A and B are shown apart, each in its own frame.
Chain A
Amino acid sequence: MGSSCGRVCWKWGSPLRRLPGFSRLLSTAALAPQICVVGSGPAGFYTAQHLLKHHRLARVDIYEKLPVPFGLVRFGVAPDHPEVKNVINTFTQTAHSDRCAYYGNVTIGKDVMVKELQRAYHAVVLSYGAEDNRILGIPGENLSGVYSARAFVGWYNGLPENRDLKPDLSSETAVVLGQGNVALDVARVLLSPLDILRKTDITEGSLAAIACSKVKRVWLVGRRGPLQVAFTIKELREMINLPGTRPLLDPADFTGLGDVIKDIPRPRKRLTELMIKSAREKPGEKEAALWASATKEWGLKFQRSPLEVLPATDGKQARGIRMAVTRLEGSGESARAVPTGEVEELECGLILSSIGYRSLPLDSSIPFDPKLGIIPNSLGRVQGAPGLYCSGWVKRGPTGVIITTMNDSFDTAQSVLEDLQTGVLNLSNSKEGFKSVRSILHSRGVHPVTFSDWEKIDAAEVARGKLAGKPREKIVDPQEMLQLISH
């Protein structure tokens, strides 16, 4: 406390020094770390939360390119999974902390550059996630009727950039490429009874489109086998029990698996057992009755790798997909799918590729590994860039659920806290934080949206939703959001 206090106080002359508490106030202000986080999804908020909790003085500002916060919790989690969104409550509590501020409608890399943030803050944490998706890289990928699952999810969840997707839901059969939880989500939204969907926060526009949908059958197609499925058991169970639908699982796909899974870890074992049971066992009375009256169906196809999307006679519309039949080399997580030479075709007019999200480089000054799609880092410290950190999908890759990101964010926050403690982050360089960013934004005509602005938008959405018997009616036009808060 002594030396830095002396340096600061000297500037204003000795009389001020004698004021009780003044020098302590100044030294405290000088020692308060100014930290900013880029991205307001789970990674951003959990990193901020951990920093605020474990450092009594740190100030954390969270920047977000959209007016509204929460990232994939708002735009990724399925509408019929409201409990998963309960984390919004703990994030809201964090945002209300007097050492935390939220600034929406600010695009880092455009409205303000990372280098400018680094001048304003002691530490900058990049938590901006994965806004793009992996591409198939096959002919016909750009035909009408082919979409990324990411865009489809964004569409029904009200992500502004996907609001005009207008997916073609006029064919009976849809193929989802990929067998993760996102694949199950899109299948479930396509096949759920409308009575269930209409009570969720799915957008009005997408609900209307789904109400006119002709889709009756959804195949989830994977390159490898049942032991490599990436979805988890709760979501699979939900699909098996989806009202109005019946599962189409080929018992032949599960031959001999019962023995293979005897000694594997419990999570994979239970997941596989559930698939085997659904495929091979005769359904109970209740299930048999439900399945007999089902008007929609879904199934899993294994060991099929997409080769080409086949065009209809007009050459513009997808009419089917040609796939290579594969065999597996190796086993478990590291099994590889190898083409056998055999080929198969599946008729379908809607193809959703659900093969993974992908991060993009934010700003040319930040190191980025395009092959892995992450920012190169060690324990959240960006390599070769002191003062720069990362957390969440942009750090690890786009897999895992909220708890995975939570742990990862706490890890990154720990790295920041360690660096504050050891002096790697030099607090004697006082930083202005938002004060300097504000003037940059002002000079560029950018108006940040505050957390209480968001709360106005939130209240409006909830009020509109109430009229329709929904938890909220999401506003999908950013201009409308800004108008609501008179920006």
Chain B
Amino acid sequence: MIRMNLALSVLSRLPVTLSGVELTKRGRAMAQLALTSCNLFDSSADRVTVHFINRDGERLTATAKEGESLLEVVVNQNLSIDGFGACEGTLACSTCHLIFEEDVFQKLDAITDEELDMLDLAYGLTDTSRLGCQVCVKKAMDGLTVQVPAEVADMRRELEVGKQSK
């Protein structure tokens, strides 16, 4: 409750609306500051730091709650990752695809057939890929770094246009 009020009072002074589209970098930073500083009052949740390397190479750092999925982290912290989580965590797309470091990947909870089915459609699939909506943050993941995959739409585009002539 305190967290919400503090965040809202900070945000209300910002000249832009609180929608994923409009929030400026500064606005996001302020929101994050408000939310994190509120956490000093919140002793119950265990905080875990997660770094997302965005497609343009920028590192986005977030503090997550233990048990949150990585998709929830991106959404709750309003991280600027284009098109992330289109189906809102229902295993109906692959837009929350993330690439993990090998040692971290090995320690993640087992992948289900349902997740594999959607992951199989992801761009730039690697051996250490997972869907962010299916990976939950654990204390041991503190300092985790994940990579948002680059899109390879160009290559695909040429291939698919070529296909039409059959």
- Inter-chain contact A407/B164, CB cutoff 8 Å: no
The one of A83, A400, A401 in contact with B90, judged by C-beta atoms closer than 8 angstroms, is: A83
Q: Say what secondary structure dominates the interface of chain A.
A: helix
| In the complex, A406 has a CB within 8 A of chain B | yes
| In the complex, A98 has a CB within 8 A of chain B | yes
- Inter-chain contact A83/B92, CB cutoff 8 Å: yes
> How many residues of B sit at the interface, in one of the four size bands?
35 or more
Closest-CB distance, A421 to chain B (whole angstroms): 15
The one of A50, A84, A87, A333 in contact with B82, judged by C-beta atoms closer than 8 angstroms, is: A50
Given A87-B86, A397-B160 in contact, is the A267-B120 Cβ separation under 8 Å?
A: yes
- Inter-chain contact A407/B86, CB cutoff 8 Å: no
**Bitwise interface map of B from 53 to 88 toward A, beta carbon under 8 Å scored 1, else 0:** 000000000000000000000000000101100111
Chain B, residue nearest A267 (CB):
B120
- Inter-chain contact B92/A86, CB cutoff 8 Å: yes
Expressed in whole angstroms, the Cα–Cα distance for A232 and B156 within the complex equals 17
| In the complex, A255 has a CB within 8 A of chain B | no
Chain A residues with CB under 8 Å of B151's CB are 407, 410-411
- Inter-chain contact A396/B157, CB cutoff 8 Å: yes
| In the complex, A96 has a CB within 8 A of chain B | yes
Chain A, residue nearest B80 (CB):
A53
Expressed in whole angstroms, the Cα–Cα distance for A402 and B85 within the complex equals 12
Chain B residues with CB under 8 Å of A83's CB are 87-88, 90-92
- Inter-chain contact A234/B86, CB cutoff 8 Å: no
- Inter-chain contact B120/A397, CB cutoff 8 Å: no
Chain A residues with CB under 8 Å of B165's CB are 371-372
Chain A residues with CB under 8 Å of B154's CB are 379, 411
- Inter-chain contact B120/A410, CB cutoff 8 Å: no
| In the complex, A266 has a CB within 8 A of chain B | yes
The one of B21, B113, B163, B164 in contact with A97, judged by C-beta atoms closer than 8 angstroms, is: B21
Chain A, residue nearest B123 (CB):
A407
Expressed in whole angstroms, the Cα–Cα distance for A340 and B40 within the complex equals 75
- Inter-chain contact A270/B120, CB cutoff 8 Å: yes
- Inter-chain contact A396/B93, CB cutoff 8 Å: no
Chain A, residue nearest B93 (CB):
A403
Closest-CB distance, B72 to chain A (whole angstroms): 15
Expressed in whole angstroms, the Cα–Cα distance for A90 and B86 within the complex equals 8
| In the complex, B6 has a CB within 8 A of chain A | no
| In the complex, B17 has a CB within 8 A of chain A | yes
Expressed in whole angstroms, the Cα–Cα distance for A19 and B101 within the complex equals 57
The one of A46, A401, A410 in contact with B121, judged by C-beta atoms closer than 8 angstroms, is: A401
- Residues of B10-37 whose CB lies within 8 A of A: 17, 19-22, 24
- Inter-chain contact A233/B82, CB cutoff 8 Å: no
- Residues of A81-118 whose CB lies within 8 A of B: 81, 83-84, 86-87, 89-90, 93-94, 96-98
Closest-CB distance, B147 to chain A (whole angstroms): 17
Given A372-B164, A372-B165, A397-B161 in contact, is the A233-B120 Cβ separation under 8 Å?
A: yes
12 residue pairs of the A-B complex, CB under 8 angstroms, read A53-B21, A53-B82, A89-B88, A90-B86, A94-B21, A234-B118, A266-B125, A395-B157, A397-B163, A403-B83, A403-B95, A403-B123
